[in-house]
């Protein structure tokens, strides 16, 4: 164990000596490299100093030569620029004179055209202001018309009448008709449905209503973003619609003379949308008052569906008439068959008679063939007519002797 330790110490000592020797050699090498570098840098500085001196001398000479050349160029440019400026001044003067002349004429022409255009535009503006004034007057008149409750109702009635006239025929609806027996209150329009056995029509009453003031107050509240006012005026519209529905039910609905429901027409889609927006309003109108609310679009769809129903009924009616006509034709065709059968028998009898006449004609010809030549002896007698066989041509003809 001791020997191993000694050997290890000796190995470490030798390794340390080797490392020290290597470090000393490297230090000497570095010193030598640094000395060479310093010598090269000194030589380079000296050479650079010499070159800089020579470059300075050459630069000074080049600078002097450039200054002399620039001076000559400056003088030449100054002379050329002066002559060019004089020439340009002369040309500009001539151009100015020409431009002034043309500009004067052009300006006068352009000003004349501009004044004419402005005059025309002012005239158009004046005309447009007159039309706008007339339009404003018309809008004011329309506002006055719509302010009047009676006129406003007439406007909704006219709109409804135009829809009915476009979709239905005149005999499919009536105007200002009393649909309830014993009542003197006529409904504005009533659609006629074929429904009773005695041919009496069943009516669908339609009444147009337009609560303009309530709807305008609701729109104003919505523009001001006032939820309380919006709810208040929407409730007012709801109450107004319920009151009108109650009037329609009491005045115009009278089953079986009418259907068990009526139609309340609102001439503005926005008002119809507000009615639909109220929760449970349309259901309450149908349940409590048997009234259906309709706007312009809905009433058009409803009228189109009714028109299709009318066409279906007409087709069914025509179909029954066609079946009746076909039955008559079938009966007459049977009679025609009997007549054809009798005609065929008569034709068969005529054919048989003609065939029998042909046979008799051939028999006569055969008998007559014997008398085409004269007899050679007087003893031979000419055949008499009695020798012919079956000389009766027809069943009802006399016998030939």
Is there a single domain that holds both residue 180 and residue 308?
Answer: yes
Show which of 274, 294, 319 is a domain's final residue.
Answer: 319
In a domain, 361, yes or no: no
User: The tokens of 148 are what?
Assistant: 């009047």
User: The tokens of 190 are what?
Assistant: 């009533």
pLDDT (tens digit per residue) in 151-190: 444 667 888 888 888 888 888 888 888 888 878 888 888 8
Contact status, residue 207 vs residue 264, Cβ threshold 8 Å: yes
Least confident window among 218-227, 283-292, 313-322, 345-354 = 313-322
Is there a single domain that holds both residue 167 and residue 315?
Answer: yes
Cα separation, 41 vs 31, whole angstroms: 15
pLDDT (tens digit per residue) in 294-346: 888 888 888 888 888 777 776 666 666 666 776 777 777 677 677 877 888 88
CA Rg value for the chain: 65
Q: Note the pLDDT of residue 140.
A: 55
pTM of the predicted structure, to 2 decimals: 0.43
Q: Total domain count for the chain?
A: 2
Show which of 113, 147, 181 is a domain's final residue.
Answer: 147
Is there a single domain that holds both residue 212 and residue 296?
Answer: yes
Give long-range contacts, CB 8 A cutoff, 24+ apart: 282-289: 284/242, 285/241, 285/242, 285/245, 286/261, 289/242, 289/245, 289/246, 289/248, 289/249
In a domain, 372, yes or no: no
Q: Note the pLDDT of residue 259.
A: 86
Show which of 147, 181, 203 is a domain's final residue.
Answer: 147
Is there a single domain that holds both residue 193 and residue 291?
Answer: yes
Q: What is the 3-state secondary structure (H, E, C) of 60-121?
A: HHHHHHHHHHHHHHHHHHHHHHHHHHHHHHHHHHHHHHHHHHHHHHHHHHHHHHHHHHHHHH
Is there a single domain that holds both residue 4 and residue 80?
Answer: yes
Residues 6+ apart with CB under 8 A from 303: 163, 164, 167, 168, 191
């Amino acid at each position: 164990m001791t020997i191993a330790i000694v050997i290890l110490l000796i190995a470490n000592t030798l390794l340390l000596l080797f490392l020290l020797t290597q470090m000393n050699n490297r230090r000497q090498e570095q010193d030598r490299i640094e000395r060479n570098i310093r010598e090269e840098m000194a030589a380079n500085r000296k050479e650079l100093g010499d070159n800089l001196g020579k470059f300075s001398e050459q630069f000074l000479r080049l600078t002097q030569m450039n200054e002399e050349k620039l001076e000559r160029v400056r003088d030449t440019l100054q002379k050329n620029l002066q002559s060019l400026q004089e020439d340009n001044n002369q040309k500009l003067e001539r151009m100015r004179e020409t431009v002034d002349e043309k500009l004067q004429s052009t300006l006068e022409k352009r000003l004349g055209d501009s004044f004419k255009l402005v005059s025309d535009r002012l005239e158009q503006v004046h005309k447009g202001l007159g039309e706008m004034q007339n339009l404003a007057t018309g809008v004011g008149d329309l506002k006055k018309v719509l302010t009047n409750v009676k006129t406003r109702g007439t406007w909704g009635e006219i709109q409804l009448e135009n829809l009915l006239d476009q979709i239905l025929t005149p005999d499919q609806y009536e105007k200002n008709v009393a649909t309830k027996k014993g009542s003197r209150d006529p409904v504005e329009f009533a659609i006629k449905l074929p429904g009773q056995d005695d041919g009496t029509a069943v009516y669908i009453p339609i009444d147009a209503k337009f609560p303009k003031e309530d709807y305008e107050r609701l729109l104003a509240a919505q523009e001001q973003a006032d939820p309380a006012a919006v709810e208040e005026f929407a409730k007012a519209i709801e109450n107004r619609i319920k009151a009108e529905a109650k009037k329609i039910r009491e005045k115009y609905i009278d089953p079986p003379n009418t259907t068990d429901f009526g139609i309340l027409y609102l001439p503005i889609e926005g008002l119809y949308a507000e009615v639909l927006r109220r929760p449970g309003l349309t259901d309450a109108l149908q349940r409590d008052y048997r009234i259906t609310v309709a706007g312009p679009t809905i009433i058009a769809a409803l009228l189109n569906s009714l028109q299709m129903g009318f066409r279906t009924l007409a087709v069914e009616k025509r179909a029954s008439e066609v079946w009746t006509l076909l039955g008559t034709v079938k009966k007459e065709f049977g009679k025609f068959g009997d007549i054809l059968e009798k005609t065929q028998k008569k034709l068969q009898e005529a054919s048989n008679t003609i065939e029998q006449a042909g046979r008799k004609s051939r028999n006569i010809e055969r008998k007559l063939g014997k008398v085409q030549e004269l007899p050679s002896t007087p003893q031979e007698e000419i055949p008499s007519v009695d020798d012919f066989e079956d000389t009766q041509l027809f069943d009802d003809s006399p016998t030939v002797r």
